Copies of this chain bind each other. A is one copy, B any other.
Amino acid sequence: MNILIVYAHPEPTSLNASLRDFSVQRLQAAGHSVQVSDLYAMQWKATVDSGDNLAHEPGTPFHISPESKYAFENGLQSPDIAAEQAKLMWADAVLFQFPLWWFSMPAIMKGWFDRVYAYGFAYGVGEHSDRRWGDRYGEGKLAGKRAMLIVTTGGWEQHYGPRGINGPINDLLFPIQHGMLYYPGFDVLPPFVEYRVRAMDEARFAEVSGRLGERLDTLATATPIAFRKQNFGDYLIPSMELHPEVAPGQTGFAAHIA
């Protein structure tokens, strides 16, 4: 497979960097082609602005969605955005690796999504009418590709448990896994989460990388999270609420998983 790793950590000697290098080696050894978008090393621009549309006329208002659409359709996106989109189209699977900062991804990776996910590429794809609300949530330009989060936390696993004070990790990651990955079409594999990370001795690193390695070995075969597809009867259109007969009476994130 072709595998893209989108990676965000500022320190080249960090545990995250070691795990990234481990992943590259493991995947290459298995015969995969690997590219890494190391956002800090690339000095990725995190902020959406008018520079993202090469056709933007200086001094005029910046209208984000229409300008994103125009630039995407006409080959006038900032080259760094187009390059990341090309990597996504090349990839069969994409790993997003980051330390959990304030219960989400580092700003530099959020800015990767904000900028690379152009109108016409990740949203605004397909027919939008009162019969169909676009190709999203299970359809879209990234359909058929797989995605998986690789996340480290400083906090304890129990604190992210079903009744843990931080909230359950799968709920904390729902806006990312469902809202950012499933939305444009990815099949999303269960995340690899390593808790309570700090400087590790060799024994723990071997143990952690061993578990990560198993996940990398099964990238092509593991069962994705069973998020419900938008356009196949589970949702009413255009209200986009679950059909009354689907997960009856259930509310919240879990209702969107079959």
Residue numbers of A with Cβ under 8 A of B are 10-14, 40, 46-50, 61-65, 101-108, 110-111, 113-114, 117, 137, 154, 156, 158-159, 161-168, 171-172, 174-176, 178-180, 183, 230, 235, 238-242, 247, 250-256
Decide if B158 touches A239 in the complex (CB within 8 Å).
yes
Q: Which residues of B contact A156 (CB under 8 A)?
A: 238-240
User: Could you say how many copies of this chain the assembly holds?
Assistant: 2
CB<8 Å pairs between A and B, sample of 21: A10-B48, A11-B61, A14-B61, A47-B108, A102-B113, A104-B110, A106-B114, A107-B111, A137-B165, A158-B239, A159-B239, A161-B241, A164-B240, A164-B241, A167-B174, A167-B253, A171-B171, A171-B174, A172-B174, A252-B253, A252-B254
* Residues on the B chain within 8 Å of A255, using CB: 163
User: Are B107 and A114 interface neighbours, CB within 8 A?
Assistant: yes
Are A253 and B171 interface neighbours, CB within 8 A?
Answer: yes
Check A235 against B165 for contact (C-beta < 8 Å): yes
Tell me if A180 and B103 are in contact (CB < 8 A).
Answer: yes
